[in-house]
Chain A
Amino acid sequence: MTSNSKPLRSTALMQLTLARLREFYRQPEAVFWVYFFPILMVVALGIAFRNKPVERITVDVVSSEHAQTILDALQKDERIVAAIYAADECQQRLRTGKSDLTVAAEDEKKVGFTLDPTRPGSVLAQDLSNRMIQEAAGRSDPVPTTTSEVTEPGGRYIDFLVPGLLGMGLMGGGLWGVGFAIVDMRIRKLLKRLVATPMKKSQFLLGIMFSRLLFMVPEIILLIAFSWYFFGVQIYGSWLSIGFLVLLGAAEFSGIGLLVASRAKTMESVSGLMNLVMLPMWTLSGIFFSYERFPDIVQPVIKLLPLTPLNDSLRAVMLEGTSLIALWPQLILMFLWGAVTFAVALLVFRWND
């Protein structure tokens, strides 16, 4: 009747991990959202930015006897969309943002610009229009310049975006996956039932973390494969490094997820908390655009957020082929986030009610 032998498969950690994996894979809706949402995101953003047409600059010319000359000059640059309107109409269009700039030829030798200087598009439009008008009137530059454009893979927006989305997926997956699972078990009194067994609490939490790491692998592979196939996004660094980063990132955010869910009693409170935790990272940690744009004074704070080192190192490995050794500060920071939140979660966790 009694048996003491324990193959690996029937150790508590293994069983806890397996149970979580099974529960997850047996919920097709959950699988769909976890695996396909990031892909939908890549598709949507990838299409939005892929063949991003040259940015259009809309310039209105106030109707006058010299208007046509100006129009011809402006239309030499393909980026400019110019047309002639009556003065009051030009004003109206500028005010409502339909045009970036209004050009009025007061006489043959004098041209006036009207613009909203707070709009970057307007300033650009003024520079460009001015140049076109001057060139048409015979200006020659004292220093000849040439321009070449970067369009090869690696330097495009989609290349920047995909690592950010990987990071975002790891963050969302870790927090939502772990947080909801825990609060659900708490509501069902399953946690209470489990602590009445000799189960080690740390193993329970580790099991949840491990199962998260395992769910993440297909998600990430799918996302990378998809962006490679459809958008030609390439990985310059080693696959092994990417794999390591994905596991570390998943562990980091499951630790944070455990902490966020450690005391929450309802789904509402845990969702609120998770949104609160993720919100700053969605905007600050460089998912959709580089965080270098934020003021210098907040840079140190941004760099300490859990998602920033993950996004930075994913980008470094994917886009620049950086080795993990060079990324040690980021790796240590991520490890600390994961380990410290795990330890604190274990301390403050609410098991019994």
Chain B
Amino acid sequence: MQFAIRCQNLVKTYRGKPPVEAVKGLDLEVLPGECFGVLGPNGAGKTTTIEILEGLLAPTSGSVEVLGMSWDTQADAIRQRMGVSLQETQLSERLTVRETMQLFRSFYRSGMTVDEAIELVALSEKANAWVKNLSGGQKQRLAVATSVVGDPDILFLDEPTTGLDPTSRRQLWDIIRSFRERNKTILLTTHYMEEAERLCDRVAIVDSGRIIAIGTPRELISSLGAEHVIEFMTNSDLGSSDDGASFDWLKSLPSVDRIESDHSHHRIIAGEPHAVLPALFAELKQRDLRLANLTTRHASLEDVFVSLTGRHLNEN
């Protein structure tokens, strides 16, 4: 088996008036043992894509292979080796955590014990609590536990951390990493670029049903040409109004790759901040401009998305 997941020219058009082209020709090759992220804004087609890969939705056209098998002929075999967490499932409220896990465990020929799975997602304390009484993060962890209890070779997680606070998110990341360390394949969707960056070996950025960039987070970020972002604001209190003033001179600072200016808010994408900053300070002083809110950071996938689409990932 060369690829854990392979799909070619995947198209999904939802019938209706008007029909919705949710996925418009998508190719994906995920290697065994890889943690692969599908990153994209709301409505990009992430859920549609992942559900086609999970065999829950039929594609309008295109081919899908999971673990070298096809959904048409080996659905049961795939399901025995696949774990799934959907974007929105409400597990039965009046079952306890353990009962829920017993139920899901019973569907698989082999796998972890129920207690191992509960332990894995750190819910042992809540094993006898009703699902109804779990917090949002605990419910998400339980959902992930139901997806790993059959000890799958491939795990599909659709926005596993959406709506969670940073602590719960980190807990889930740890669970996903521990799974990844056992050499299993993971495909997850997210619209948090930070999540994709930290967790995924490779990422596909999806927008309007198409992959607009694919690669390791490093590759994608370095495709920007430079890896640092310097952001700052200029302040015109001193009377030197910068309305209409040109900031083109920023481009000529050393090591600057590209600039984006929006009123008094500026963003410099540069290779080496230590070369840019002294020159920037000197220039500002010379022009009698005041500096405010200066930040420098590594470029992120968010910047990649912005530079590819001109939009922010989480803007509506």
| Interface residue ranges, A against B (CB under 8 Å) | 1-4, 6, 10-12, 14-16, 18-19, 22-23, 26-27, 188-190, 192-199, 352
Closest to A14 in B: B106
14 A-B pairs besides A2-B112, A15-B103 with CB distance below 8 A are A1-B112, A4-B109, A10-B102, A14-B106, A18-B99, A19-B103, A26-B130, A27-B94, A189-B89, A193-B89, A197-B79, A197-B150, A198-B79, A199-B107
Decide: B151 and A197 in contact? CB cutoff 8 A: no
Does residue B90 face the partner (Cβ distance < 8 Å to A)? yes
Decide: A1 and B82 in contact? CB cutoff 8 A: no
Separation of A1 and B182 alpha carbons in the complex (Å): 13
Decide: B151 and A2 in contact? CB cutoff 8 A: yes
- Return chain A residues, CB-CB under 8 Å to B106: 6, 10-12, 14-16
Separation of A12 and B146 alpha carbons in the complex (Å): 14
| Binary CB contact string for chain B from 73 to 115 against chain A (1 if under 8 A, 0 otherwise) | 0001001101010101111101100010011111111111100
Output the least CB separation between A131 and chain B (Å).
Answer: 66
Decide: B90 and A1 in contact? CB cutoff 8 A: no
Interface of B is mostly: loop
Decide: B95 and A23 in contact? CB cutoff 8 A: yes
- Return chain B residues, CB-CB under 8 Å to A352: 56-57
Output the least CB separation between A291 and chain B (Å).
Answer: 40
Decide: A192 and B86 in contact? CB cutoff 8 A: yes
Closest to A351 in B: B56
Task: Choose among B90, B104, B110, B112 the residue that contacts A197 (Cβ–Cβ < 8 A).
Answer: B104
Separation of A279 and B92 alpha carbons in the complex (Å): 31
Does residue B55 face the partner (Cβ distance < 8 Å to A)? yes
Separation of A352 and B150 alpha carbons in the complex (Å): 21
- Return chain A residues, CB-CB under 8 Å to B116: 1
Separation of A4 and B106 alpha carbons in the complex (Å): 11
Output the least CB separation between B228 and chain A (Å).
Answer: 42
Separation of A1 and B86 alpha carbons in the complex (Å): 25
- Return chain A residues, CB-CB under 8 Å to B227: none
- Return chain A residues, CB-CB under 8 Å to B56: 192, 195-196, 352
Output the least CB separation between B83 and chain A (Å).
Answer: 9
Output the least CB separation between A195 and chain B (Å).
Answer: 7
Separation of A190 and B112 alpha carbons in the complex (Å): 22
Does residue B153 face the partner (Cβ distance < 8 Å to A)? no
- Return chain B residues, CB-CB under 8 Å to A19: 92, 95, 99, 103
Separation of A199 and B113 alpha carbons in the complex (Å): 17
Decide: B86 and A2 in contact? CB cutoff 8 A: no
Given contacts A15-B102, A15-B103, A16-B103, contact A193 B84 (CB under 8 A): yes
Task: Choose among B92, B109, B113 the residue that contacts A190 (Cβ–Cβ < 8 A).
Answer: B92
Size band of the B side of the interface? 35 or more
Separation of A189 and B57 alpha carbons in the complex (Å): 13
Output the least CB separation between B134 and chain A (Å).
Answer: 15
Closest to B57 in A: A352
Given contacts A23-B94, A23-B95, A195-B56, contact A190 B89 (CB under 8 A): yes
- Return chain B residues, CB-CB under 8 Å to A15: 102-103, 106
Decide: A4 and B90 in contact? CB cutoff 8 A: no
Does residue B302 face the partner (Cβ distance < 8 Å to A)? no
Does residue B197 face the partner (Cβ distance < 8 Å to A)? no
Question: 19 A–B contact pairs at CB < 8 A?
Answer: A3-B113, A4-B109, A4-B110, A10-B105, A15-B106, A18-B103, A22-B94, A22-B95, A27-B94, A190-B92, A193-B84, A193-B146, A196-B84, A196-B86, A197-B79, A197-B108, A197-B150, A198-B108, A199-B107
| Binary CB contact string for chain B from 148 to 171 against chain A (1 if under 8 A, 0 otherwise) | 001100000000000000000000
- Return chain B residues, CB-CB under 8 Å to A10: 102, 105-106
Output the least CB separation between A339 and chain B (Å).
Answer: 24
Separation of A270 and B112 alpha carbons in the complex (Å): 38
Output the least CB separation between B66 and chain A (Å).
Answer: 12
Separation of A22 and B92 alpha carbons in the complex (Å): 10
Closest to A4 in B: B110
- Return chain A residues, CB-CB under 8 Å to B105: 10
Decide: B94 and A26 in contact? CB cutoff 8 A: yes
| Binary CB contact string for chain B from 104 to 145 against chain A (1 if under 8 A, 0 otherwise) | 111111111100100000000000001000000000000000
Output the least CB separation between A9 and chain B (Å).
Answer: 9
- Return chain B residues, CB-CB under 8 Å to A27: 94
- Return chain A residues, CB-CB under 8 Å to B94: 22-23, 26-27
Separation of A188 and B104 alpha carbons in the complex (Å): 16
Given contacts A1-B116, A19-B95, contact A193 B86 (CB under 8 A): yes
